[in-house]
Amino acid sequence: MKVYQTSEIKNIALVGGAKSGKTTLAEAIAFEGGVITRRGSVDEKNSVSDYRDIEIDRKNSVVSSLMYAEHSGKKINLIDVPGFADFQGEMVAALNAVETAVVVINSQIGIEVGSELAFKHTQKLGIPIMFMMNQLDTEKANFDEQIKEMKEFFGEKITIIQYPINAGVGFDSFIDLITQKMYKYPKGGGKVEILDIPDSEKDKAAQLTTTLIENAASGADDLMEKYFSEETLTIEEVRRGIKLGLASRSVFPVLCCSAKENMGVGRMLEFIANNVPSPNESISRKTLTSGDNVSYDSAKPTTLFVFKTANEQHLGELAFMKIMQGEVIEGMDVINSKSQSKERLSQIFANSGKNRVKLDKAFAGDIISTIKLKDAKTSATLTSLKNTSDIVNPIEFPSTIYTTAVKAKESTDDEKVSSLINDYCMHDRSLQVEFSRELKQTIIRGMGELHINTLKWYFDNQYKIAIEFFAPKIPYRETITKPAEASYRHKKQSGGAGQFGEVYLYIEPYYEGMPNQTKYPVRGSETIDLAWGGKLVYNNCIVGGAIDARFMPAILKGIMEKMEEGPLTGSYARDIVVNVFDGKMHPVDSNELAFKLAGRNAFKEAFKNAGAKILEPIYDMEVEVPSEMMGGVMTDLQSRRAIVMGMDSQDRNQVIKAQVPLAEMYRYSTSLSSLTSGRGTYSMRYKEYQQVPTDVQTQLLKAYEEENKDAE
């Protein structure tokens, strides 16, 4: 393969809805770009990008695929991104490696969830976007209606570059407003015939061309001045305006195609080669922790950014990298800027799905892959510079919204399951796993139920280990609402030395700024910030040496043990003041163990008499939904004990702000998707702990009692 200079490289991501035809378009691009000689398809299970077993089985993309095409003397790197919202982590990673996003629109359906998400993420990253109106050969294709909807969603920046003459069954022609020509294809695709615009289309083409020129003029001040004075631009000026407007996100070009019939794909590649910014022309660039922008200068020291890793069957670890500056030569050594460990790029590749073309050299701006790096994971920076801590700012993956617990069906598989999940999460950074010591469960957090079930597919079909998902326990807390006293005598005599310790406690609810109680004067105090939140205040109120000072830490230890396993449900206790005001010792039998047990049991008894309450975690949440779907979403939230705090508008959507108990949110993403046809999104942030309602506390106490009965 030719070695491409930075200015000859174009990096794009194919994004959009799950049914928009991105993979089919990627296949047509690979064919038009000379990478393959025969087009495969998703239905025939032989497409270049959907090559993994899970994708062949499900007939949809699950993981992003890196591909390339060569056209008009340019190398076009493209990343085919999954369309389901659950896999938006793949989208974010891909967008961190490209200069332009191509949003593929299904002309039968229009704007989908994937289209909206793509727009939001590109907006956040400042990445240019263009639209490809696909499936114009289908029965319900409606170009004009979809353009209208796109302008409602994305504004007047939507700029028609091409429009179909005969959308629907039999589609074979479109008008290109830049070249001012009609492109006509033989049935089933093939070599295009470029003709003059027919008389029947000249008025419409002229009208749309005027709008195109207006939008192109906004790309540069000099073009705007000329347009105001002459009310027109030359074709070359229109092209320059479109290119500048695309780079600055002031123009969103719309092109036409039938990817399945390979109509319009060649012209699309020509448009990309001429108008999409090369890495060194991009306005929005990745930044370094030093604050500098990535330069994409091939003359500078080499800097590589790992935006994705994968474990490929029969190959092992594969790292996908963007060359941020400098050049890469096969066999060169680089340094991991974070760990300062050395890595060797033994081989470098240009990827086309599962196929790889070996490269000797690549320049800044190119996207390549390599194998068997030791510890360079996603977001790692590799450089030829020694002793530098300057790294490319890491990818900000979207916050997880779906939480579940997981375990192996056979306990003997627990360790292996844990290892496999951890390894899987190293490659999918929008999936997180942790073992909760408090809940004694392995917790997985992801982007939705489909995302989590993808992991289960691998266990069922590849790892051959049975696992199960279930609702995670809720991290409740226990506290008290009124003061109470209790005492406990621990006495044990068995042959030799005995055990004796007696403790009297007075406990009370803690609140910030509270004064010391006066019933038993405090002679010494210790405030403990609990690891699980809240406080424990431990007051020594002993007079007359009733308990020796050396036993006070043992009493505290016993109390802390019970704080870690609350008397009501075994949950952590918090926000309590403990006053040790009396007790008894034995000159021979008293020891630390005796007082630890006495303190533990005295605290347990006092706790039960102090108006004990269970607290539950409350989250602030924001739910963004289309206005017409507000009613069903509000009703569902109220059924989850949510308190609506207010509403706001966001573009065409409404944002519901509410406070909701975590206990009511299991599988909420699935419910919201069902209520809004996938259009609703939400986020949650921990706020505070609040007392559970009385009926809920009764249920929790009963459930804990039953659980312990079974355990016994």
Distance CA(446)–CA(431), nearest Å, equals 5
392 beta partners: 288
Q: What is the pLDDT of residue 272?
A: 97
User: Mean of the pLDDT values across residues 447-452?
Assistant: 94
Q: What is the pLDDT of residue 705?
A: 87
Q: Identify the sign of the CA torsion 673, 675, 681, 683.
A: negative
Distance CA(434)–CA(422), nearest Å, equals 9
State yes or no: pLDDT of 711 exceeds 60: no
State yes or no: pLDDT of 54 exceeds 90: yes
Distance CA(531)–CA(227), nearest Å, equals 66
- State whether residue 432 is helix, strand or coil: strand
CB 444 within 8 A of CB 406: yes
Distance CA(282)–CA(78), nearest Å, equals 16
State yes or no: pLDDT of 495 exceeds 70: no
Walk me through the domains of the chain, giving residue ranges and CATH numbers: 6-195+252-281 (3.40.50.300), 303-383 (2.40.30.10), 402-470 (3.30.70.870), 478-611 (3.30.230.10), 614-696 (3.30.70.240)
Q: Ramachandran region of residue 441, left (φ > 0), alpha (ψ -120 to 50) or beta?
A: beta
Q: What is the pLDDT of residue 365?
A: 96
Q: What is the per-residue pLDDT across 469-492, written as a single tens digit (0 to 9) for each? A: 999 999 999 999 999 999 999 998
Distance CA(685)–CA(67), nearest Å, equals 38
Q: What is the pLDDT of residue 498?
A: 86
Distance CA(95)–CA(126), nearest Å, equals 10
Q: What is the pLDDT of residue 712?
A: 46
Q: What is the pLDDT of residue 493?
A: 76
The pLDDT-based confidence of 707 (bands split at 50, 70, 90) is confident
The pLDDT-based confidence of 187 (bands split at 50, 70, 90) is confident
Provide the CA 702 distance to its chain's centre, in angstroms.
38
Average pLDDT, the chain: 93
The pLDDT-based confidence of 231 (bands split at 50, 70, 90) is confident
